[in-house]
Structure 1
């Protein structure tokens, strides 16, 4: 790879983590609701899954994304 790579950072940012956690909660709720035959809760879980990337995008624009000014990378 070249020295000037356009590596997006693999999502190691507060915005990405928040979006993924919200979507995981939505999938978990939807799965349990499907198991217990609660269609309206399945739809609510699907809505939460759609909200996850929206919240992640808002946080990224607010500076908590990989290239944002409020993001501080941690050494691994």
Structure 2
């Protein structure tokens, strides 16, 4: 049995970090679209969004995520 009880709310450092990075990427991408700066949109917005997903997954694998649900409910 794990130390932390399973809940599916995502209140973990991995989730918070991934969401924060993705929100910053969204704002940068929106600024890039509004300024018609497509390099900023693709590199700063889309690229950073992908980095946020990777960072969240890596942090989760390092133990900062939710973990898996227990087999018995």
Give the TM-score normalised by structure 2: 0.77
Question: Structure 1 CA distance, aligned partners of 2:20 and 2:40?
Answer: 18
Unmatched runs of 5 consecutive residues or more in structure 2: 1-5, 69-73
Alignment of 1:3-42 (within 5 A): 8-42=7-41
Paired residue total: 62
CA offset digits 1:3-55 (Å, max 9, x no partner): xxxx5531100000000000001010000111011000000110101111110
Which of the pair has the greater relative contact order for Cα pairs under 8 Å at 6+ separation? Answer: 2
